[in-house]
Structure 1
Amino acid sequence: MDENKQEETIDKSKEAVRQDAKGLWASFKTFMNELLDFKHDTDQEATIEAIKGDVPFKGATAWILICSIFVASIGLNANSTAVVIGAMLISPLMGPILGVGMSLAINDIDTLKKSLVNLATMIVLSLITAFLFFFLFPLREETSELMGRVKPDIRDVLIAFFGGLALIIARTKKGTIASVIFGVAIATALMPPLCTAGYGLAIGNLDYFLGAMYLFTINAIFIALATFIVLKLLGFTMIRYVNSKKRKRVAQIASLIALLVMVPAVRTFINVYKETVVQASFDKYIKTEVEDNDNLWLNGEPRKDDEKKQIRLRFNGEIAPAVETNLKLKVKDYDKISDYDVVVIGNKSRSIDDISKSLERAYNNLDQKDYVINGLQDKIKELENEISGLTSTIEKADKSSIPFSKIAGGAKLRFNDIQEIRFSKVLSTKDFIKIDTLPEATVIWSNKLKKDYVAKKEIELKKWLQKEMKLDTLIIKK
């Protein structure tokens, strides 16, 4: 009997644990639903009206776009992230893109047409504005802010998609004024690529233009796709047309466009993801097998050709066959580039031993630099003393010459405010036939002196110089 009671007690305990677990799970589900559910806080009519209100592009909106493109272009030109962000916050590019996503979700063909037309107009105006800026104010060098928008990677796709999700979720919330979210979520992905595309046109680089436009297209598609998905999940009411044939035709057109948008988006995501993974594998191979090897010195950037499945490595110095073979075998350890062929190019005219000897000689020369500098300084002092002695000798030997060093010293003693004095003889003519040689003194006075005081001192200095130099004529220049 005791055993039966014990088993019954254990069974009751197990059942109580099960009930507690079910209650805990139910509580957790309720908590998560309340935390993540935003359907109850959605205002369909206000959301649709607000998005439609942002679609038109004319008047003030056009000028705001032009100004934001100029600001973004200046930021890219100056390589200033802060200026680019400032342009993002005032850009109106998000309106038509949200309009495309919303119209596809609710079967609104009229809004779809307006959104596509306005988006195309915005793109053309943005390209023209950026082109004019970079044509009139060319870059001195290509900046990192600019080059970061030439080729998309998986991060750009994710930024566009999740930015679009955040944007449309915020837009559907009742009573939300999310203009800052709109600017950051959309313009972060759209403004800089358009400016970079304009830069590509301005310098005639088609690769830059196509790369930047490819990035812009990817971002616009994924933002529209995020809008489409959120509105579908929220169950926004689709527009019903009175004419059954028109209703069916519009539904078919909207479904076709939605499919055309989603298929390239998914395909683009997959392709960009593959390219990013391959690039990451390539970077790891170069870092581990080449850059971390102290015996290998790269000459220029490694090159990867995805079409030819080839990696080209150029080195300083001759590369031993064993090292080349090792580099070709090691690439097999990196999954995404294991089928790539590694081409090794060495500089056979100079071996590593030769370069090492040259470095050793350079280090030895550097060790002697202190002795050389000290010797040169002593030599300079000797030459200065010798020049000073020669000057005195020349002045004494040539009776016709002016003892300038003596006169300059005397002038400094009598006129302490003189900072510099120069003396020369200049050629002059008034009738352009007869040539005269005139003595000329250039005097630089202290900046602290007043003009009237300087003028008075110049008269005294001129008289004194004429007397000392025994000159009838002397020109004083300031």
Structure 2
Amino acid sequence: MNKVYEFFNLHQGEDSKEKVLDNVVSNISFRGANLWILACAIVVASVGLNVNSTAVIIGAMLISPLMGPIVGAGFALGTYDFDLLKKSLKNLLIATLVSLLVSFVYFLLSPFKETQSELLARTSPNIYDVLIAFFGGLVGVIAITRVEKGNPIPGVAIATALMPPLCTAGYGLAVGNISYFAGALYLYTINCFFICISTFLIVKLLKYPKVKFVDAGKEKRITRTVSFLILVMLVPSFYLAYVLLQEKKYSQNVELFVKNEFVDKGYTLIYEKISFNSRPKKVELAFLDKRFSNVELAQINDRLEAYKIKDTELHIRQDSTDLKQDILQEINRQSYNVSEKDFTIQNLRKQLSGYTFEDKQLIKEITILFPNLVPFSIGKQLVVVDSDSSYHENMLLYSANKDLEAASVTTLENWLKTKLGSDQVRVARVNR
């Protein structure tokens, strides 16, 4: 039994309690450099959410110092250090307000206001976010109390995700969407609270000394307050998880219905829209060349119950004019969502294609007609005449042992002009 206890004993590898507490207290304050780092991290995270870049968002979470006051609050609760608790909560409030302000200003100034998937993912928290925050917080606090901190800390910063919800809340304020703001702020609150609670539990488990003596009655009141707050946080998250589950099941039932009743019968589906949150729920469909009579539509609606699709209006779009407009709007919306990064990549590829030479047949012909030319290189280069004048020239450089005869060079240049469709062609020998 002792061996089993030693296997799970958290005291093994534990750092001195005084050193850990000093480290926690030093990371609480948001002044000077810490505040600047936080503001910059918020901007980075906001850009990542704005352009839907997961890598940028992860980078912002790694440089964020937001964990400091939250862990400090957990340690303060565990050791009944109410002065430290006030200091931690004050700095957390400052950090939260600064983060909201910076993200609000960024999204207010940003020309891209489209709601990306990374933003939407932070607007509907549920019980799974609670589990991530709690167990991620446990890992983080255990790592903080070790002599060898190891590499869990960066992983905890990514998993608990404090930055993105704050930025999403700022986005909600900037675009005037209160539901986004409230959902993201609730997710942020969940993360902060359950990281704090996990810290509190580990501090208790490791038996950190109490800074102030509290009687049994006061300790019981603190425990009750913490328990009540846990319940307040959990109930909405359970409800949101239930709603998410119902929405997933509903979407699966609709997909099965569409597959069995239409796709498997050879009808080409070109439009589908599911409105789960409307009352009643709505499913809109449109098909390429199939038109349904009123009798067929009534029969199809009757079959919804068999797929557990209840309280739903099925609307099959058969007005070709309205349908075309909807499809065009969707295409335009998706085109608008193409990020500036994609345009930049396309332009660079286009420019690069102008400098690369991939005509293998032409290269093969050159080696056959001018065997003494190899080795050689061929490509396009910029020729600068003066500060205001330049042009692109097709250049063939060879490094044979001796120069080609002037007549051969002229013949080769004229032949290349014809092959490449350009008058800007030059052949030259370079020394090895």
Give the structure-2-normalised TM-score: 0.65
How far does the alpha carbon of each residue in 1:187-246 deviate from its partner, in whole angstroms, 9 at most, with x for none?
5411011111111111222122112111111211221122122222333333333xxxx7
1:121 aligns with 2:91: no
Letter paired with 1:325: D
Partner of 1:16: none
State percent identity of aligned pairs. Answer: 34
Partner of 2:342: none
Partner of 2:238: 270
Alignment of 1:209-228 (within 5 A): 209-228=181-200
Partner of 1:255: 223
1:93 and 1:186 in contact (8 A); partners too = no
Alignment of 1:310-329 (within 5 A): 310-316=280-286, 317-318=291-292, 320-329=297-306
Partner of 1:108: 81
Cα 1:53–1:65 shift into 2, 3 Å: same
SS in 2 for 1:320: helix
1:302 aligns with 2:274: yes
Partner of 1:158: 131
Cα displacement (A) at 1:53: 2.1
SS in 2 for 1:301: strand
Q: Pick the aligned partner of 1:50 from 23, 36, 43.
A: 23
Alignment of 1:304-453 (within 5 A): 304-305=276-277, 310-316=280-286, 317-318=291-292, 320-331=297-308, 340-347=310-317
Partner of 2:174: 202
1:154 and 1:272 in contact (8 A); partners too = yes
Cα 1:289–1:45 shift into 2, 3 Å: farther
Partner of 1:284: 252
How far does the alpha carbon of each residue in 1:403-433 deviate from its partner, in whole angstroms, 9 at most, with x for none?
xxxxxxxxxxxxxxxxxxxxxxxxxxxxxxx
1:40 aligns with 2:12: yes
1:131 and 1:199 in contact (8 A); partners too = yes
Partner of 2:152: 181
SS in 1 for 2:282: strand
C-alpha distance in structure 2 between counterparts of 1:137 and 1:252, whole Å: 50
SS in 1 for 2:303: helix
SS in 1 for 2:281: strand
SS in 2 for 1:305: coil
Cα 1:153–1:279 shift into 2, 3 Å: farther
Partner of 2:54: 81
1:99 and 1:111 in contact (8 A); partners too = yes
Partner of 1:236: 208
Letter paired with 1:211: G
Select the structure that is richer in helix: 1
SS in 2 for 1:345: strand
Partner of 1:67: 40
Cα displacement (A) at 1:151: 1.8
1:107 and 1:238 in contact (8 A); partners too = yes
SS in 1 for 2:31: coil
Letter paired with 1:283: S
Letter paired with 1:278: Q
Letter paired with 1:221: F
Cα displacement (A) at 1:302: 0.6
Cα 1:73–1:448 shift into 2, 3 Å: closer
SS in 2 for 1:314: strand
Cα displacement (A) at 1:68: 0.6
SS in 2 for 1:254: helix
Cα displacement (A) at 1:140: 5.3
How far does the alpha carbon of each residue in 1:317-367 deviate from its partner, in whole angstroms, 9 at most, with x for none?
5453222111123217xxxxxxx42221233557xxxx9xxxxxxxxxxxx
Cα displacement (A) at 1:41: 3.2
How far does the alpha carbon of each residue in 1:121-164 deviate from its partner, in whole angstroms, 9 at most, with x for none?
11100000111111122315332222222222443332212211
2:137 and 2:199 in contact (8 A); partners too = yes
1:149 and 1:192 in contact (8 A); partners too = yes
Cα displacement (A) at 1:449: 9.9
Cα 1:57–1:291 shift into 2, 3 Å: farther
Letter paired with 2:190: I
C-alpha distance in structure 1 between counterparts of 2:209 and 2:43, whole Å: 40
Cα displacement (A) at 1:77: 1.9
Higher relative contact order (CA closer than 8 Å, sequence separation 6+): 2
Partner of 2:333: none
Cα 1:74–1:95 shift into 2, 3 Å: same
1:104 and 1:255 in contact (8 A); partners too = no
SS in 2 for 1:41: coil
Give the structure-1-normalised TM-score: 0.59
Q: Pick the aligned partner of 1:142 from 97, 103, 115.
A: 115
Q: Please list every run of 5 or more consecutive structure 2 residues that lacks an aligned counterpart in the other structure.
A: 325-381, 390-432
Q: CA RMSD in A?
A: 3.0
C-alpha distance in structure 2 between counterparts of 1:125 and 1:163, whole Å: 24
Tell me the number of residue pairs that the alignment of Structure 1 and Structure 2 aligns.
314
Letter paired with 2:153: F
Letter paired with 1:303: S
After superposing the two structures, state which structure 1 stretch, 34-43 or 191-200, moved more: 34-43
How far does the alpha carbon of each residue in 1:283-330 deviate from its partner, in whole angstroms, 9 at most, with x for none?
321232225640574744211138x5x431112254532221111232
Letter paired with 1:226: S
When Rg is computed on C-alpha atoms for both structures, the one with the higher figure is 1
Cα 1:253–1:50 shift into 2, 3 Å: farther
